A and B are shown apart, each in its own frame.
Chain A
Amino acid sequence: MVTRMKILIVEDDLEAAAYLAKAFREAGIVSDHASDGESGLFMASENAYDVLVVDRMLPRRDGLSLITELRRRDVHTPVLILSALGQVDDRVTGLRAGGDDYLPKPYAFSELLARVEVLGRRKGAPEQDMVYRVGDLELDRLSHTVRRQGKEIPLQPREFRLLEYLMKNAGQVVTRTMLLENVWDYHFDPQTNVIDVHVSRLRSKIEKDFDPPLLRTIRGAGYMIKDDRAPDA
């Protein structure tokens, strides 16, 4: 880690906030805590954070109005909304209010962590890059081709998008739900291991005839594509 990520947790449940702060600290992320909407708004406007984690139901000012007000004040820190309401339309209203991601409660911490890290790195994300590279693996977004060690690997369109999303977030954990959301645009729980099967298909295509393995399974969390020999980005 070159710089440590700094986030603000706006959550009125003190026990949950303390647990989150501890868990983030163990993951190498520094966090501040605000216990109501007004102080959350104040802290988020005064300090520079990489990510805001905002509970939707807060005393003194609810989460959505906090985000709307922040955006009005031209603060564009990425926001992840936590909510006990987890339905489709709640997600839509949350994102419409200016949130960047939405996670229904209860959630696995690994899921929250992965999403926060992706949001925090978004600023420097290679959104404009036309070619993603991880080790000797190359993905050309323009010509929709994937090469490894100069050899073209034919992929199905969905496999291409899967790899694209993984490589865009190279070096970071990407969870199964994140993949379902970003690659298939579905937010429900697919129950069976559909994503795993897709990932293992992709893995066999990009790793069968090559070395070293790049796509790793992170136990209890998801997947990460990373070149071990390269220094941390």
Chain B
Amino acid sequence: MSRFSALFRTTAVRLSALYLVLFSICAAFLVFYVTGMSERLLQQQTRDAIAAEATQIEDVYDRAGISGLLRSLERRARQPGANLYVIAGPSGEILAGNVAGLEPGLLDAEGWTSEPFRYRRFTDENRADNHVAIAQVLVLDNGLRILVGRDLQEREKFRMLVRQALMVALGIMGLGALVIWFGIGRNALKRIDRMSEASTKIMAGDLSQRLPMSGSGDEFDRLSESLNAMLGRIEKLNEGLKQVSDNIAHDLKTPLTRLRNKAEAALASTEGGNQNGALEEIIAESDQLIRTFNALLMISRVEAGSAPAEMSDVDLSQIVADCVELYEPVAEESALRLEAEVAPGVEISGNRELIGQALGNLIDNAIKYAEGAENPLIRVEMKKSDHHVMLTVADHGPGVPADMRGEVVKRFVRLDTSRSKPGTGLGLSLVEAVMEMHRGAMDIAATEEDGRGLTVRMVFPAAAT
């Protein structure tokens, strides 16, 4: 029973039920309309036939008088399926005809009987008027009354037949609809059951589960397909998240361990000078940790976009000029030349702070890694085309091997595995997150043909003008 009520709750079944009800109403209307119309048509035909016969009878009387009329009526009455004929006296008593009895008073008025009337045949055993007919009454000049009528039995039969046929057809259709409906509903229900089964498993934590597909490419398959695509994305994000948290655990443990070791050493050391030095190192180490945390938080905030840092129209040219000016003395100290070629007055929609930080990271990286390179040039270039603004930072340092270029953007990935240079391993991740937030993109290439040198390109969409 619950199975049945569940079936009734499905949309397919409900919709079919609604259709069935509407269809039945239309069909019923059709049945009554068709039978009514055919009845009216038959009645009209009957009346026409009676009227024609009445005219003929009047003609016969005019030509051949009463005897001719009698003969004619006798002949007519003997034909199979004959009409009804009655000759009655002026007071209404039946003189001749093929009718045994009539409703009284029927012959009083000339013209059509106002309604179908009941009559009795000679063959009827009982003496009841149980046949129905319509008729026309003629009054002759000698006062004789003649009734010409037609039995309605046939018409009634026909009407019943039409109605029956329509009812049967309707019944068959209704039954068919029910069967089809049950089949479709049950089928849909089964597939939905399978889908919810799979999603229960997914909710229980098995993200590798996928919704079943029948392969027919119907609506259910399309739904499953898009849900499966969504699950795939969630699974990938989840894996990414897991990897990142693993990395965080690993990358924060290392400096925390160092921190702890230093604190322990400071505690063990008895000399005041040593202790102070160790404490300073501890503070430097914690600062580095805080820096890492801040960078991580910043990246996830930028990536989540939940509280998007305020975007406004910013002068990218000015930001680049400011950044270059900020880092230029540091580059010079590392015997590097920071050179900029910036298209003036380029405005984009963005966040000055974040773009500044991203560009700062790139210049800082270039200075860090290109120190001591043969070619001391670090070039910052900004070009504007119709749809994009391209900002490039290129150095001539050791660069990044082609197979590692996808890796270095990931969080905590550093080429310098010895980690001798200061850094969080988050710089490029931040750049990428910032670019994503600005609906732009970044890529990494080599500056020189032999694969040396690092060129980072940031492409911003140009502001709509």
Contacts and interface: CB of A to CB of B under 8 A. Distances in A.
Given A88-B354, A89-B308, A197-B332, 8 more contacts: A86-B297, A87-B301, A88-B351, A92-B310, A188-B353, A192-B364, A197-B329, A198-B329
Q: Of B290, B308, B310, B322, which is in contact with the most chain A CB atoms at under 10 Å from its CB?
A: B290
B367 interface: yes
- Kindly list the 5 A-B residue pairs having the minimum CB-CB distance in the complex, ordered from nearest: A188-B357, A197-B329, A88-B309, A88-B353, A89-B309
B195 to A, nearest CB: 41
B353 A189 contact: no
Contacts of A188: 353, 356-357, 360
B204 interface: no
A158 B328 CA distance: 12
B356 A194 contact: no
B60 interface: no
15 contacts: A86-B297, A87-B297, A87-B298, A87-B301, A106-B290, A186-B326, A186-B360, A187-B353, A188-B353, A190-B364, A191-B364, A193-B330, A194-B326, A197-B330, A201-B329
A184 interface: yes
B108 interface: no
Interface string B299-338: 0010000011110000000000010011101101100000
B291 A184 contact: no
B333 A158 contact: no
Interface in A52-101: 86-89, 92
A184 B322 contact: yes
Contacts of B326: 184, 186, 190, 194, 198
Q: Of B286, B326, B360, which is in contact with the most chain A CB atoms at under 10 Å from its CB?
A: B326
Contact of B330 (A104, A189, A192, A220): A192
B309 A189 contact: no
Interface in A110-149: none
A194 B329 CA distance: 7
A86 to B, nearest CB: 6
B281 to A, nearest CB: 12
A158 B294 contact: no
Contacts of B81: none
Contacts of B291: 189, 191
Interface residues of B, number: 34
Given A89-B309, A188-B360, A158 B301 contact: no
B356 A186 contact: yes
Contacts of A86: 294, 297
Contacts of B330: 192-194, 197
Q: Of B332, B353, B361, B368, which is in contact with the most chain A CB atoms at under 10 Å from its CB?
A: B353
Given A89-B307, A158-B325, A201-B329, A191 B422 contact: yes
Interface string A172-215: 00000000000010111111111001100100000000000000
Tell me whether chain B's interface is mostly helix, strand or loop, or mixed. helix
Interface string B239-268: 000000000000000000000000000000
B353 A186 contact: yes
A201 B332 CA distance: 11
B359 to A, nearest CB: 11
Contacts of A192: 330, 364, 367-368, 422
A194 B309 contact: no
Contacts of B283: 108, 220
Contact of A190 (B290, B297, B298, B360): B360
A108 B297 CA distance: 19
Contacts of B310: 88-89, 92
Interface string B332-369: 11000000000000000001011011001100100110
B294 A189 contact: yes
A193 B322 CA distance: 16
Contacts of B364: 190-192
A201 B329 CA distance: 8
B116 to A, nearest CB: 92
A197 B356 CA distance: 19
Contacts of A187: 353
Nearest to B280: A220
Contacts of B287: 108
